Amino acid sequence: MMTVLAFVAALALLIAVHEYGHYRVAVACGVKVLKFSIGFGKTIFKWQPKGSDTEFVIGILPLGGFVKMLDEREAPVPADQKHRAFNTQALHKRAVIVVAGPMANLILAIILYAIVNWVGVQQPKAILASPTVSSVAQRAGLIGGEHVLKASFVEEDLVPIQSMEDLRWLITRGALNNQNVRLVVAASANSLTREVILDLQSLEVKEADAKLFQKIGITGPWTKPILGEVQANGAAKRAGLQAGDVVTKVDDIAIVDGQQLRQIIRESVTFSKGQTLGLTRNWTINRNGQPVVIPVATEIKSDGANDIGRIGAFVGALPEMTIVNYGFFEGFQVGAIKTWDVSVLTLKMMGKMLVGQASLKNLSGPLTIADYAGKSANLGLAPYLIFLALISVSLGVLNLLPLPVLDGGHLMYYLWEGLTGKAVSELWTERLQRGGVALLFSMMAVALYNDMTRLFVI
């Protein structure tokens, strides 16, 4: 139920803001707006304010909306009202009215990011977990436990890194844009700093997923290698491990953090005569300040694709957290920068998908959006607002694409009219509309297929 409510609320807000952008600017330009609708299908609520020309409507299907303006191309217009018809307006007014919808979504994103920046949100500190084997981070000399203080693309000025989310966003952009990232790290709060370069240009990135960060080697924040709850009848319980034990070694391998320990447990398997068997390894733990060596035999479990080791205990503490927030003006500034960065990255990814340099798996449809809406709402207000901001940016950017059925398509017509002095003919408008609808439905089909694959294929 939370997923459905969060999804419907998100759609209603984003569509209302988009259409209000068109409506508000149309009225400001002197155009008569006949109907403002949120949703399609059967009307469940409508009203018309006293003295207003506009009927406001809410439809039963909240999957879109529209602003219907007085227009000679749709119905006869009385002579005394022609000056208020959309099609009789100057070219620049029509263009401004069309672009107002996407711009409203981008402005909403800035406001949502700014609210999150003002309120503040708890995020993991940018302390690195141990890198995956043969990853970019390991080749750069990172071992885990380093605190990232500053970072940037190689050719740009360093900026402070407040949280792991800041770092992951920078690395994501670097990987997708084929740009190397430099980090200024310290082994501890008071130690000397050093600079490392993440060679992201060596990766052939087509989509941003968990596998990408496995290749980069920065998959999460540092966590203390301590045992939490120990399950009854599990391998850890049988070996004599207890909650609160801090693991310092497995055989001769020094343990840096919880992530490294979890990976070692997963890989503590051997293969013999077509069977997968668990390995017995000597764990050195710190218990009440005293070192203890305990042999631990891993159990074998399947993760759906492979047999992996398990011990039946919660491994690793929660990461160190920090509250990230900004002042009033700085919050707006950071929100605007984030909106710009997400917009640029979205456009670049769409361009790469168009020429085959990025996978179409990056497209997401309504099922994935609904899933993330529910998950973010369950996490709290700040994650939900961040989700809304991301979708609002995507909606704004998508509508600016030069597809005839979108706002960007109408801007494309107006560009032609401005260059040639003639409007696009009705014949070509109809042809382009059909092509745009076909392309849009193809994109929707791919996105829906990706949704089904992500959510239902195990």
pLDDT tens column, 276-310: 778 889 999 999 889 999 999 998 887 666 788 89
Domain endpoint, select from 168, 188, 220: 220
pLDDT tens column, 213-226: 888 988 889 999 99
Contact 35, 84 (CB under 8 A): no
The three-class DSSP label of residue 321 is strand
Buried b (16+ CB within 10 A) or exposed e, 272-294: eeeeebbeebebbbeeeeeeeeb
Beta bridge partners of 77: none
The DSSP bridge pattern shows strands 159-160 and 33-47 to be unpaired
Residue 112: domain span: 89-117+334-456
**Distance between CA atoms of residues 70 and 72, nearest Å:** 7
On whether both 231 and 339 belong to a single domain, the answer is no
Decide if pLDDT at 91 tops 80: yes
On whether both 346 and 437 belong to a single domain, the answer is yes
Average pLDDT, the chain: 84
Q: 426 or 192, which is more confident?
A: 192
Helices 2-28, 366-379: crossing angle, 10 deg rounding: 110
| CB count in 10 Å sphere of residue 268 | 24
Q: 275 or 84, which is more confident?
A: 84
Task: State percent of the chain over pLDDT 90.
Answer: 35
pLDDT tens column, 92-145: 999 999 999 999 999 999 999 999 999 888 889 999 998 988 899 999 999 888
Domain endpoint, select from 177, 192, 220: 220
Establish if 26 belongs to a structural domain.
no
Name the pLDDT band for 455 (thresholds 50, 70, 90): very low
Name the pLDDT band for 351 (thresholds 50, 70, 90): confident
pLDDT for position 425 = 73
On whether both 338 and 446 belong to a single domain, the answer is yes
Number of domains in the chain: 3
**Which of the residues 19, 146, 156, 430 is marked catalytic?**
19
On whether both 169 and 244 belong to a single domain, the answer is no
On whether both 338 and 388 belong to a single domain, the answer is yes
On whether both 284 and 374 belong to a single domain, the answer is no
pLDDT tens column, 304-325: 667 888 999 999 888 888 888 8
CATH of residue 131's domain is 2.30.42.10
Nearest 10 degrees: Cα torsion 112, 114, 119, 121: 80
On whether both 143 and 216 belong to a single domain, the answer is yes
Rg (CA), the chain: 28
On whether both 96 and 135 belong to a single domain, the answer is no
Establish if 7 belongs to a structural domain.
no
Backbone angles phi, psi at 58, to 5 degrees: -120, 120
Does the active-site annotation cover 207? no
On whether both 363 and 449 belong to a single domain, the answer is yes
